[in-house]
Structure 1
């Protein structure tokens, strides 16, 4: 995938590793990078050889240090709004990707970087990682989903504290409040993320996909409607060969061999 200027891609036996690669800018998101992310998400959606996606940043210092302020600073109101709409659309597309997405947060995840990792399904962080939404120090609000995904992950009060103060927190605190889901030593981060990906890949792929859809859709519904949606998803599973194989393997006390059908 040499057509990408700001991303690196590797297919590691079904694990698609996307690396934000602007190390001189601490992997900050400029428009070109966001458009390349948009493009690669479309490619990943169509590539049946990729079962799980991992997103990380190049180098040891930064995952994504935010949006590119140099590029952003002279925008007017309309240009700022269009920039936000572009990035929000890409992050929404990532969140809706019909494959599990793991953020391997290797360093600073600030502003747009924190918003990017929140759009992933599961967040694994280096013990050296740092998190924050510093936008109010720049006179702006988060614009890539931060005011909406953050309270859904950590609760309204904690989200407001982080948003209002712009405080940067370490990985241990991020884990404590539920902003990340797993910690790993810095030199073992990708191993931990890939181990998690391999575990997910060993499960029924249709069921995993439907779990993702049910959680993402249901969390924004009232409970009664969400339970009804879950029932629809549950019923669909019984039309699959994977369900027959999974339950037969359980009864026969052997490991299931799923085909994704």
Structure 2
């Protein structure tokens, strides 16, 4: 039986691959749970400084939730569907969003529904020119449930997000770039190289500083500016006694002489 989520660590970067290509990497419960376990391991692995998340095969990053499995939960009632499906999916995207190491989505194909919500949640994203995005939940008669009604408006703005959420229409990577869902679009064959180059540009810096920035931004986005500034101050205070800050200042001073 193949592993639902593959992991390969090289040069400080963990490549995490959603591995159900025959199902377009649909997010069944096994895959979500395995992804969470992988992230738990990566979090405490000191050799890992950044994460690249992609999908197996050439067709899909993730086509979204496994509808057959979700339907089975739904037949068992609202409480079961919320427990097994909604809470599991929301916990996954919240975990990715709040991760203290940078997570970069390398969107290699279809990113529909939950696949799009993963892209919304991670810190950075690069799309293949063959990628395609959609918020198709409305076609099933339901809203997105893994955070899509909350994160997409924060990224794209209310009206642009509502157009995508209310129509369910697919949109190309150029549109994803325009609305801030991804950072860049690259030729398909260059996708993982581009993601690694971005990760390398981040991991050359202090991992503690990287983590403090991720925390300040992620928490601050859900607060008013005054509360967000307090989080920023707290993250700075945590860096003051560290060797990372002292070395950074020493390096700057040496260059300025």
Cα distance in 2 for partners of 1:232, 1:21 equals: 39
Equivalent position of 2:91 in the other structure: 89
Q: Does residue 1:79 correspond to 2:80, yes or no?
A: yes
Contact 1:8 1:21 in 2 (8 A): yes
* Aligned residue pair count: 252
Cα distance in 2 for partners of 1:63, 1:45 equals: 22
Cα distance in 2 for partners of 1:184, 1:168 equals: 19
Alignment of 1:129-144 (within 5 A): 129-144=131-146
SS in 2 for 1:16: strand
Cα distance in 2 for partners of 1:222, 1:141 equals: 26
Alignment of 1:1-261 (within 5 A): 5-74=3-72, 75=74, 76-82=77-83, 83-253=85-255
Contact 1:131 1:168 in 2 (8 A): yes
Cα distance in 1 for partners of 2:5, 2:223 equals: 35
- What residue ranges of structure 2 are gaps of 5+ in the alignment? none
TM-score, normalising length from structure 1?
A: 0.93
Larger helix fraction of residues: 2
Cα distance in 2 for partners of 1:29, 1:153 equals: 23
- What residue ranges of structure 1 are gaps of 5+ in the alignment? 255-261
Contact 1:4 1:36 in 2 (8 A): no
Contact 2:119 2:181 in 1 (8 A): no
1:177 deviates by 1.0
1:37 deviates by 0.9
Question: What is the RMSD of the two structures over their aligned residues, measured on CA atoms?
Answer: 1.4
1:4 deviates by 6.6
Cα distance in 2 for partners of 1:26, 1:149 equals: 23
Cα distance in 2 for partners of 1:92, 1:177 equals: 21
TM-score, normalising length from structure 2?
A: 0.94
Cα distance in 1 for partners of 2:144, 2:245 equals: 42
